[in-house]
Amino acid sequence: VMGQEALEAAIFKYKGIEVEVHEEDDEGSLVCSCFAITENKIKRVILENNLKTAEEVTNYVKAGGGCGSCLADIDDLVASVYEAPDTTTQQIPTTTKPATNLTNLQKITLIQQVLQQEVRPVLAEDGGDVELFDVDGDRVLVKLKGACGSCSNVLVTLKGAIEATLKERVSESLVVEAV
């Protein structure tokens, strides 16, 4: 965790971006006493990184990696995050115009948000999924999973659903390709 936060801080400082402080992480009940990680921080990390198990949370923030007595609580938090409506992340309005003058880090973050909040739920209805693989300039490389990985309408999904949504929300110049 400290390594990730240090890297983020260094990148933001280098790019002249003000560092986002997660003050709310210090509030809330302490879940992992070994690493002093609160419920709010675990929920935020679960949402931001699409974590599905206590093991993934442990690998990401070390919570549960000490004595292990909080693993059941972490499992409960993972379940509660995915059962409850998503009110902790900022929703992107459907009338948003594409952003301009984004740094690479901001563009990647916005692409991830749009994929997570708008594209993935639509694909999941048909048993599919998408994962951001890489962003190379205006090329967005994605992995199609589940039903989308073997679907005969892969071009319709790529261009009609994913690329159109990203062009509308992030940048008109984006091109989506499958890897």
pLDDT, residue 2, reads 54
Q: What are the extents of the domains in the chain?
A: 2-83, 104-178
Residue type, 9: A
Number of H helices, E strands in the chain: 8, 5
Nearest to 170 by CA among 126, 132, 121, 128: 132
Q: Between helices 54-61 and 39-49, what is the axis angle to 10°?
A: 100
Residue 145 φ then ψ, to 5°: -125, 170
pLDDT, residue 108, reads 92
Two structure tokens written together for 107? 């563009």
CATH number listed for the domain at residues 2-83: 1.10.10.1100
Give the architecture-level CATH label for domain 104-178: 2-Layer Sandwich (3.30)
The DSSP secondary-structure symbol of 161 reads I
Stretches where the chain sits below pLDDT 70 are 1-6, 9, 18-27, 84-100
pLDDT, residue 99, reads 59
Q: Which DSSP string corresponds to 44-103? A: HHHHHHT--SHHHHHHHH-TTSSS-TTHHHHHHHHHHHHHS---SSPPPPTTPPPP-S--
pLDDT, residue 112, reads 93
